Amino acid sequence: MIQLDHKNILADLVGNANGITSGEIQRSEARARRALTAFRKRSEDGSVGFPHLPFQAEVINQIQQYAAEMRGSYDTVCVVGIGGSALGAWALDCGIRGPHPVQGAFTAEHPRLVILDNVDPSFTQSALDSMDPRKTLVVVIAKSGGTAETVSTFLIVREWIKNGRGRIAAVTTDGKGDLFELASREKYRPFWIPENVGGRFSVLSPVGLVPAALIGIDLRKLARGAMAMTHRCWQPDLDENIALRAALCHWLLWTRKAKSIQVAFPYSNHLWGTAFWFRQLWAESLGKAADRAGKTVHTGQTPVAALGTTDQHSQVQLYIEGPNDKVFTFWAVGRFAAAGKIPRERLGLEAFDALGGQSLAKLIDAERRATAAAMLEAGRPNCTFTLDRVDEEHLGAFLQMMEFQTAFMGELLGIDAFDQPGVELAKKLTYGLMGRKGFEKYRRQFDAYERKRTRAR
Ligand code: PA5
């Protein structure tokens, strides 16, 4: 269903300075298996919950039932959430229904998904102006229940929807946090995020599944794909376990060849949302100052999202001739929903006549393979995931595989992939600046930075 071709990272193909020998890969396989065992322990003792999500049939049924009850009463689903509480819904919508500009007319049968993540006031106002409060179903999502962006936008949306309170669902932590309190008080339809599932690993929890079901995505098929992939990701055989194989390749390229940037390069507009979801997953999980033993490491590979073929005309010049500090992961699609047949013409014009009678599917595939070959020529390591198709089963499997890959990479690096201490200070300083009670000391800390800036020459 999903394959990984990692041959183009081999030293034989990209040279010793940039590639890994098959001997090195073989010698590291035992280390990869230890990473698998360590992560399996975290999954079994319940400290990390995402591997279990696709198996929670009861939760999936409840969400499908809720979506069935509500169907027909709205033409827009408005998600209020940010980070891991927003990107999964976007990846699923874009993956299954395509990017917004090509989604077709929005109706009660084919509702629009609007995601209010950023607190850009003009964006928020334009979004509200584009929706009808009587036909909008709001889903507010926050695991902590108190994220500044989500809370403030939700207050605006709550007032905007006024009498439509029956059409608010809240996805948060059971029994904890201010959103839980408000949802209980105002009787929003609640859905719970398991404590052991972090935001960026939550796409297959109610965080991603509630919006997905409301826009008509088949959750059972998503879960079926993710379950099959979960079984694969527990296999010690690296030919079977593509998440472990991919994590090992990236670990070797980062730690031995200093490939500090990974470009996720989908050749499919449907996978563009997933590329942004992956960017958060890889960055926030792996970018860490200290390892599990407390040693300063400042590790992490920077994820970049590029779209094929579009970014061949934007980024690839840099990728082929600029600093050789990257590894490229192409995401290919075996069979597109449409072939894009190009009419056969005999215009006597070579550029047109050469391509007439062929298909866009063949062209996008040729362009990806040609770009990979050009990268080899320039000594740029790359690998390719191929999804047979982009449908619920394949997308569910791909998302789950990426989460496993990230968890394995965390184990290989010896860091905690499930926390995010680096984002805390800015959050607290923001609360200080916004005058939140209990955060006065951060206001003072911010003022001290300002004084320092004034003195700096
Ligand atoms: O992955 C994470 O943990 C974060 O990106 C969170 O998803 C993000 O900060 C939003 O958090 P919350 O759901 O509490 O609003």
User: Ligand 1 centroid vs 284 CA: distance in angstroms?
Assistant: 10
Residue 164 has pLDDT above 90, yes or no: no
Residue 156 has pLDDT above 80, yes or no: yes
pLDDT for 165: 56
**450: Cα within 13 Å, side-chain hemisphere:** 8
Domains defined for the chain, CATH in brackets? 2-42+223-413 (3.40.50.10490), 50-217 (3.40.50.10490)
Residue 264 has pLDDT above 70, yes or no: yes
Using DSSP's 3-state secondary structure scheme, residue 143 falls into coil
Is the minimum distance from the CB of 391 to ligand 1 under 6 angstroms? no
Is the minimum distance from the CB of 262 to ligand 1 under 6 angstroms? no
Is the minimum distance from the CB of 142 to ligand 1 under 6 angstroms? yes
User: Ligand 1 centroid vs 239 CA: distance in angstroms?
Assistant: 34
Q: According to the 3-state scheme, what is the secondary structure of 378-436? A: CCCCEEEEEECCCCHHHHHHHHHHHHHHHHHHHHHHCCCCCCCHHHHHHHHHHHHHCCC
Is the minimum distance from the CB of 143 to ligand 1 under 6 angstroms? yes
In sequence order, what DSSP letters do the residues of 335-389 get, joined into one string?
Answer: S-SS--BPPP---S-HHHHHHTTSBHHHHHHHHHHHHHHHHHHTT--EEEEEES-
**Of the candidates 389, 159, 102, 412, which has an alpha carbon nearest to the alpha carbon of residue 285?**
412
pLDDT-above-70 percentage for the chain: 99
Tell me the pLDDT band of 162, cut-offs 50, 70 and 90.
Answer: confident
Taking the C-alpha atoms of residue 98 and residue 408, their distance in angstroms, rounded to an integer, is 30
Burial class (CB in 10 A: 0-12, 13-18, 19+), 276: middle
Taking the C-alpha atoms of residue 80 and residue 158, their distance in angstroms, rounded to an integer, is 10
Query: Is residue 427 among the annotated active site residues?
Result: yes
Q: Which atom of ligand 1 lies nearest, measured to the CA of 147?
A: 15
Q: Whose CA is nearest to atom 13 of ligand 1?
A: 142
Q: Is the pTM of this model over 0.95?
A: yes
pLDDT for 100: 86
Q: Whose CA is nearest to atom 3 of ligand 1?
A: 199
User: Ligand 1 centroid vs 418 CA: distance in angstroms?
Assistant: 11
Please pick, among 284, 392, 393, 403, the residue that the annotation labels catalytic.
284
CB atoms within 10 A of CB 5: 15
User: Ligand 1 centroid vs 145 CA: distance in angstroms?
Assistant: 10
Residue 163 has pLDDT above 70, yes or no: no
Q: Whose CA is nearest to atom 15 of ligand 1?
A: 142
Determine the average pLDDT of the residues in 85-114. Answer: 93
Query: Is residue 7 among the annotated active site residues?
Result: no
Q: Whose CA is nearest to atom 9 of ligand 1?
A: 83
pLDDT for 101: 81
User: Ligand 1 centroid vs 227 CA: distance in angstroms?
Assistant: 24
pLDDT for 104: 83
Phi, psi (5° rounding) for residue 299? -105, 180
Using DSSP's 3-state secondary structure scheme, residue 123 falls into helix
Q: What angle do CA 60, 274, 342 make, to 5 degrees?
A: 115
Please give the mean pLDDT across all residues of the chain.
96
For the segment 323-378, what is each residue's pLDDT rounded down to a tens digit? Answer: 999 999 999 999 999 999 999 999 999 999 999 999 999 999 999 999 999 999 99
Residue in this structure with the two tokens 């390749």, named with its chain if needed: 249
pLDDT for 166: 61
Tell me the pLDDT band of 103, cut-offs 50, 70 and 90.
Answer: confident
Q: What angle do CA 320, 325, 328 make, to 5 degrees?
A: 60
Is the minimum distance from the CB of 376 to ligand 1 under 6 angstroms? no
